[in-house]
Amino acid sequence: MVSQKEYKDIHQKCLSYFEKAGIVLTQNEVEDLEVTDFGLDRVQEMGLQLVVYVNTERCCAKELVLLPRQTCPEHTHPPVGDSEGKEETFRCRQGTVYLYVPGSKTDEPKALPPADKKQYYTVWNEIVLKPGEQYTISPNTPHWFQGGEEGAVVSEFSTKSTDENDVFTDPEITRTNENEA
């Protein structure tokens, strides 16, 4: 669990990332900024920060912040009810994002997962996103991503998000909102 001190520190860092990217948040969005460590208590290494603008039955829009070399672990967005799973597009706004999806393995990937968790990363086709570049991930597709040396801000546009149903390759991961720290 993210400590209150660490949460406040990361929260402030995220606000500076948004400001640098020219993204203006409302006071409610600032207060609702989510910080998650996926239940691993290693948020600086494996975590994600996000703000949800809208999440309806038809669409979702979010802003994601990745700290330098912070990894969002491998997962899928599986079918839920009548939905085939979430389709999402990542558009890099600031920094660099290394995104990994199925396909030909990249010989020398620029991002590496934590050594003790490497067995839970199975897709190695590297997509490098810089500001203004985007990539769409099909439903139920395994993927993971990591911020570059300077971190990153990413806009996510998708079909309905049901993060609580995400399936992570690492069985130790839990998806909880930790902005109550």
What pLDDT score was predicted for residue 176?
Answer: 58
For tokens 């920094």, the residue is 95
The segments of the chain whose pLDDT lies below 50 read: 180-181
Rounded CA separation 134/154 (Å): 9
Q: Identify the DSSP state of 120.
A: G
Average pLDDT, the chain: 94
Output the pTM of the full model: 0.94
The dihedral over CA atoms of 10, 45, 101, 63, expressed in degrees to the nearest 10, equals 0
Residue 142 CA to residue 39 CA, distance in Å, equals 20
154-179 per-position pLDDT tens digit:
999 999 999 899 999 999 998 655 55
pLDDT of residue 180: 44
What span, in angstroms and rounded, lies between the C-alpha atoms of 64 and 79? 23
The residue type of 21 is A
Among 16, 166, 7, 150, CA closest to 86: 166
Q: How high is the pLDDT of residue 177?
A: 52
Domain architecture of the chain: domains with CATH: 4-168 (2.60.120.10)
Q: How far apart, in whole angstroms, are the C-alpha atoms of residue 82 and residue 141?
A: 17
133 CB-side CA count, 13 A: 11
Alpha-helix residue ranges (DSSP H) falling in 22-129: 27-31
What are the helix and strand counts (H, E) for the chain?
Answer: 2, 9
At 30-44, the pLDDT tens digits run 999 999 999 999 999
